[in-house]
C-alpha cells in the first residue's frame, strides 16, 4: 500500500509544481492567434507534463520510500535476522531473474512490506519490524516473494505508464474546463485570465482524484499476480498462511469504520474504488482455487 500511495501523492505534487512553474514562466500558452484553444499544442503539452510527472515520481520512488518510513538499508547483515532477510531475498531474486534489490527494515508495529524502484535491477524491498516480530519465517518468506514478484513483473514501470496516460487526460481536460469557465462565466475574451488559472487547478485536482481510481484498480489487479508469484517463490501454503496472518491481524486491530476502507483487508461499496489492495478474503480464495 505504501508503494502506491507514495507514488500517487508524489505524482500529484510534481504535476502541481510543474503546472504552477509553467504558468509563472508563461510557457504554457495554449491559445491560437484568434484566442481559441490550440488543441494540438494543448495535447503535446499535456503529454509532456503528464509523463514528466509520472517518470519523476518513478525515479524518486526509492528515495521517497526510504525517507518517508525512515528505512534502514542493510549494507552488510549484522545479525541473524538481517542475514536471513538477505539470503531469502537473494535466493528469490535469483529465481525471479532480477538483480539483487536493496533490503531495508523500518520501525513500525504494522505487519507490512513494500517494493519499489525504477527498474527490475535497481529496486528496494522493505519490511517493517512488526512483520519480522509477528510472522513466522515461512510467512515472512511468502511476503518477501510477493514483493520480489512485484519487481520481477515490472509493476512500477507499468504503473508509471498508466499514470502518465491518465495524467495526460487530466491536464488536457482540466485546461478545456478552465478555458470554458474563463470565457463563458468570467467573460474573459483577452486570453487566459485568473478564472482560467484557478478553475484549471481545481479541475486538475478533482479529475486527478477520479483518475486515481484507475491507478488503484491496476494496483488491485496486480496484487493477485504478485500473490501468485509469491506462491511460486515460497510455496502456495506459505503465501496463504501469510495472507491469513494479515487477515487475523486486521480483524484484531478493529479499525474504526471511518478508516477501515483503507486497511489492507479493504472494504466495500464506493470505498473499494480507492483501495490499493483487494480484500484479503478474495486473495486467499484466488490462491486456493489456483491449480
Q: Which residues are catalytic?
A: 147
CA pair distance 271, 8, nearest whole angstrom: 17
Nearest to 127 by CA among 102, 151, 104, 156: 104
Alpha-helical regions (H) of the chain: 2-25, 39-69, 80-96, 129-134, 137-152, 155-180, 194-234, 236-253, 257-260, 280-289
User: Residue 3 has which C-alpha cell?
Assistant: 508503494
Interhelix angle for 194-234 vs 80-96, to 10°?
A: 90
Are 104 and 125 in contact by the 8 Å Cβ rule? The answer is yes
User: Which DSSP symbol is given to 37?
Assistant: B
User: Which DSSP symbol is given to 265?
Assistant: T
CA pair distance 70, 164, nearest whole angstrom: 28
Phi and psi angles of residue 102, each rounded to the nearest 5 degrees, phi first = -65, 145
CA pair distance 106, 290, nearest whole angstrom: 33
Interhelix angle for 155-180 vs 2-25, to 10°?
A: 40
Residues β-bridged to residue 80: none
CA pair distance 146, 195, nearest whole angstrom: 48
Are 220 and 275 in contact by the 8 Å Cβ rule? The answer is yes
Amino acid at each position: 500500500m505504501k508503494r502506491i500511495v507514495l507514488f500517487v501523492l508524489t505524482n500529484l505534487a510534481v504535476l502541481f509544481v510543474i503546472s504552477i512553474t509553467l504558468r509563472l514562466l508563461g510557457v504554457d500558452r495554449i491559445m491560437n492567434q484568434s484566442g481559441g484553444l490550440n488543441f494540438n499544442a494543448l495535447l503535446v503539452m499535456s503529454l509532456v507534463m503528464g509523463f514528466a510527472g509520472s517518470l519523476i515520481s518513478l525515479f524518486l520512488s526509492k528515495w521517497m520510500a526510504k525517507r518517508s518510513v525512515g528505512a534502514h538499508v542493510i549494507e552488510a547483515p549484522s545479525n541473524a535476522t538481517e542475514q536471513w532477510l538477505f539470503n531469502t531475498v537473494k535466493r528469490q531474486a535469483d529465481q525471479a531473474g532480477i538483480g539483487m534489490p536493496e533490503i531495508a527494515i523500518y520501525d513500525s508495529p504494522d505487519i507490512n512490506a513494500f517494493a519499489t524502484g525504477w527498474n527490475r535491477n535497481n529496486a528496494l524491498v522493505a519490511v517493517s519490524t512488526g512483520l519480522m516480530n509477528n510472522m513466522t519465517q515461512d510467512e515472512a518468506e511468502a511476503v518477501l516473494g510477493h514483493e520480489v514478484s512485484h519487481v520481477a513483473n515490472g509493476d512500477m514501470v507499468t504503473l508509471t505508464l498508466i499514470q502518465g496516460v491518465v495524467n495526460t487526460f487530466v491536464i488536457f481536460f482540466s485546461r478545456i474546463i478552465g478555458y470554458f469557465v474563463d470565457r463563458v462565466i468570467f467573460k474573459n475574451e483577452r486570453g487566459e485570465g485568473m478564472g482560467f488559472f484557478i478553475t484549471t487547478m481545481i479541475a486538475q485536482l478533482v479529475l486527478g482524484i477520479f483518475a486515481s481510481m484507475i491507478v488503484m484498480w491496476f494496483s488491485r489487479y496486480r496484487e493477485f499476480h504478485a500473490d501468485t508469484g509469491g506462491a511460486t517463490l515460497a510455496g502456495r501454503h506459505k503465501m496463504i498462511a501469510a495472507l491469513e496472518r494479515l487477515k487475523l491481524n486486521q480483524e484484531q486491530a478493529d479499525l474504526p469504520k471511518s478508516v477501515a476502507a483503507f486497511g489492507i483487508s479493504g472494504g466495500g461499496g464506493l470505498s473499494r474504488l480507492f483501495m490499493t489492495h483487494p480484500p484479503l478474503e478474495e486473495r486467499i480464495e484466488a490462491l486456493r482455487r489456483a491449480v
